[in-house]
Amino acid sequence: MIGKTARTVMLIAAAVLVIGAVVLNFVLDSRGGYAELITALEGFGYTVEMDDVILADSRTECTVDELLEEADKAEGVAASRRAGFPSDIYKSGTVDLLLVVCEEADTGEPVVITLFVLDGSIELAFVQYSDEGGTVRIKALGES
């Protein structure tokens, strides 16, 4: 049999482990299902909160090309590749279109980061911003 002191120590250790697991789970869940995506964007110098992420569209058995429909894709694909993303707009799977509204890390200017997530991984990503004339431009994540 286990002594009273040993049992108390084991129960305390088990309680600490359970509390630690609950806290870790809460921290991970507080960032929602997009924790990995937010971490990836933070790696490019953006500060993103869960509230900044908007799910604009989601389709199964779809391609990024189909989701973009008639939009000019060349500039976005080029910017995405410069940032190191696969950018295969013809690959099929579950595609989520996410818009992240945040501020440029260096300038504080508002930008919209457009993410196409294919089967849980970023496939295509680029930044949309307005220049001095109000024209919407596209650039790679992390570009000045």
Cα–Cα–Cα angle for 95, 44, 100, nearest 5°? 45
Tens digit of each residue's pLDDT, the chain (144 residues): 566 675 565 656 555 555 644 444 444 444 457 888 888 998 998 888 888 899 999 999 999 999 888 777 899 999 999 999 999 999 999 999 999 998 877 777 788 999 999 998 999 999 988 888 888 889 999 887
Instruction: Look up the pTM and report it.
Output: 0.74
Sequence-distant (≥ 6) Cβ neighbours of residue 20 within 8 angstroms:
none
